[in-house]
């Protein structure tokens, strides 16, 4: 991995910028919602539009990453991301904001499989957990900087952060063109034969893939049902300002990034991916429920900044596990990962938005129940023998 440090740095920069743009919208969502007189359900639909587009394109993007290469998908995705942020910045109607979010979903569908497969090509099975931990930390750090910049820039104009993100996206695309080189396929990945799970999209129905993908779907569904409305919850229930929301999310992202950089590789080696996912879900479920009972600023802050740590450890654990079993189809499996994540991100905000309009606490209750189901599924999850043998080599 040391020989590819510059390449890895550019890949992480690309993810950081993409998630920076996503994070920018969080503290200004209540303001934009009020400007356009949007209901909680409409905000949920708008966020679901992003995930819905990503859902439809992710399976194809994963195959394209294997067929046409990692680099080209990343570059196209970054340019589309840049345009989507610019469009949101100039948007004055609900239709334009929806189009912006849909283009954002296209960019995410292209970037994520490309970057994940690229990292699998330039790392070994031993170094991959650390690199994927860095990948998740780059995404989390985007949320650290994003809400902070968004909350600060909102004082000068609610659309200004999006022009900033558009410029960064274009810059990242240019850097990728100049610096990134298409990687050679990692021969270590070829050693895990695809005969373990068959061929084609039907592989997702085999025991090797079905259970982890189902857990991804359920956990993402539960998380998205309240995460997408978190800023509205803080605004409506506690009267928090965009700066207050930015402080809470930034604190949580800092702790999450620390956990991913410092703790993840060690915990994955000590516990294994499956147990780490299970324990992370347990911690997250407890803290999600606590959000409905805390009422003091300090307690709200403490729960919030620790709430997302479990999710921040679970995501790279799932990605690492899938990368181990993907063999030579890293792009395909990464695309399926994005697809199931997107299904949860489509359904979660819609259900959460509808529940929010009835009672602000209902999305959190719903997420608690859903995440409990995910914990139950992890108890049935076992590493298949061929993969276990490869991991122990």
Highest mean pLDDT among 128-137, 140-149, 287-296, 383-392: 287-296
DSSP 8-state code for residue 159: T
Give 301-340 as a DSSP string.
Answer: HHHHHHHTHHHHHHHHHHHHHHHHH-TT-HHHHHHHHHHH
Q: What is the pLDDT of residue 392?
A: 45
DSSP 8-state code for residue 251: H
Percent of the chain with pLDDT over 90: 4
Q: What is the pLDDT of residue 124?
A: 76
- Average pLDDT taken over every residue of the chain: 78
Q: How far apart are CA 368 and CA 283, in angstroms?
A: 11
Q: Confirm if 134 and 8 have CB atoms less than 8 A apart.
A: yes
Q: How far apart are CA 61 and CA 67, in angstroms?
A: 10
Q: How far apart are CA 169 and CA 378, in angstroms?
A: 37
Give 36-50 as a DSSP string.
Answer: TT--HHHHHHHHHHH
Of residues 346 and 314, more confidence is placed in 314
Q: How far apart are CA 370 and CA 285, in angstroms?
A: 9
Q: What is the pLDDT of residue 391?
A: 46
Q: What is the pLDDT of residue 77?
A: 92
Q: How far apart are CA 32 and CA 43, in angstroms?
A: 10
Highest mean pLDDT among 77-91, 146-160, 199-213: 77-91
Of residues 208 and 14, more confidence is placed in 14
Q: Which of 185-189, 221-225, 308-312 shows the lowest mean pLDDT across its residues?
A: 185-189
Distances (CA, A) of 64 to 59, 68, 194: 9, 5, 18
Q: What is the pLDDT of residue 115?
A: 87
Q: Confirm if 118 and 73 have CB atoms less than 8 A apart.
A: no
DSSP 8-state code for residue 154: T
Highest mean pLDDT among 54-58, 76-80, 105-109, 251-255: 76-80
Collapsed DSSP state (helix, strand, coil) of residue 379:
coil
Q: What is the pLDDT of residue 389?
A: 45
Q: How far apart are CA 121 and CA 186, in angstroms?
A: 5
Q: What is the pLDDT of residue 136?
A: 77
Q: Which of 83-87, 196-200, 253-257, 347-351 shows the lowest mean pLDDT across its residues?
A: 196-200
Of residues 319 and 86, more confidence is placed in 86
Q: How far apart are CA 78 and CA 88, in angstroms?
A: 15
Structure tokens at 43: 């905000």
DSSP 8-state code for residue 262: I
What is the residue extent of each domain of the chain? 2-182+203-382+386-390
What fold characterizes domain 2-182+203-382+386-390? Growth Hormone; Chain: A; (1.20.1250)
Distances (CA, A) of 197 to 202, 210, 384, 392: 9, 10, 10, 20
Q: Which of 58-67, 214-223, 382-391 shows the lowest mean pLDDT across its residues?
A: 382-391
Q: What is the pLDDT of residue 79?
A: 94
Q: Confirm if 113 and 334 have CB atoms less than 8 A apart.
A: yes
Distances (CA, A) of 118 to 183, 218, 236, 276, 376: 7, 27, 42, 24, 33
Q: How far apart are CA 70 and CA 375, in angstroms?
A: 34
Q: How confident is residue 327, by pLDDT bands cut at 50, 70 and 90?
A: low
**Cα 322–chain centre separation:** 15
- CA-based torsion, 330, 336, 341, 342: positive or negative: positive
283 contact partners, CB below 8 Å, separation of at least 6: 309, 310
Q: Confirm if 188 and 123 have CB atoms less than 8 A apart.
A: no
Which of 188, 140, 157 minimizes the C-alpha distance to 323?
188
């Amino acid at each position: 991995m040391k020989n590819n440090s510059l390449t890895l740095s550019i890949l992480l920069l690309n993810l950081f910028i993409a998630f920076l743009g996503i994070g920018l919208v969080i503290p200004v969502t209540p303001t934009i919602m009020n400007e356009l007189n949007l209901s909680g359900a409409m905000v949920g639909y708008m966020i679901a539009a992003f995930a819905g587009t990503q859902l439809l394109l992710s399976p194809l993007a994963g195959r394209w990453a294997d067929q046409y290469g990692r680099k080209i998908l990343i570059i196209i995705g970054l340019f589309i991301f840049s345009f989507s942020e610019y469009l949101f910045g100039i948007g004055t109607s609900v239709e334009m904001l929806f189009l912006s979010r849909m283009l954002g979903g296209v960019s995410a569908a292209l970037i994520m499989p490309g970057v994940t497969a690229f990292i699998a090509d330039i790392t070994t099975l031993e170094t991959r957990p650390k690199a994927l931990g860095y990948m998740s930390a780059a995404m989390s750090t985007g949320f650290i900087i994003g809400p902070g910049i968004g909350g600060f820039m909102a004082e000068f104009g609610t659309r200004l952060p999006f022009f900033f993100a558009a410029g960064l996206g274009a810059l990242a695309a240019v850097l990728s063109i100049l610096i990134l080189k298409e990687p050679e396929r990692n021969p270590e990945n070829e050693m895990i034969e695809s005969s373990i799970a068959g061929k084609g999209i039907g592989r997702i129905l085999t025991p090797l893939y079905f259970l982890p993908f189902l857990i991804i779907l359920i956990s993402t569904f539960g998380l998205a049902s309240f995460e997408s409305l978190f800023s509205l919850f803080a605004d409506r229930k506690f009267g928090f300002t965009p700066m207050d929301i930015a402080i809470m999310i930034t604190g949580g992202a800092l702790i999450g990034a620390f956990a991913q950089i410092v703790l993840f590789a060690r915990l994955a080696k000590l516990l294994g991916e499956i147990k780490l996912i299970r324990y992370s879900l347990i911690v997250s479920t407890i803290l999600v429920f606590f959000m409905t009972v805390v009422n003091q600023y300090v307690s709200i802050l403490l729960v919030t900044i620790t709430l997302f740590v479990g999710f921040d450890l679970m995501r790279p654990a799932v990605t690492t596990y899938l990368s181990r079993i993907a063999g030579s189809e890293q792009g395909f499996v990464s695309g399926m990962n994005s697809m199931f994540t997107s299904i949860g991100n489509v359904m979660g905000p819609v259900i959460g938005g509808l529940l929010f309009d009835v009672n602000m606490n209902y999305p959190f209750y719903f997420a608690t129940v859903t995440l409990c189901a995910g914990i139950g599924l992890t108890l049935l999850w076992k590493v298949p023998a061929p993969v276990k043998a490869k991991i122990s080599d």
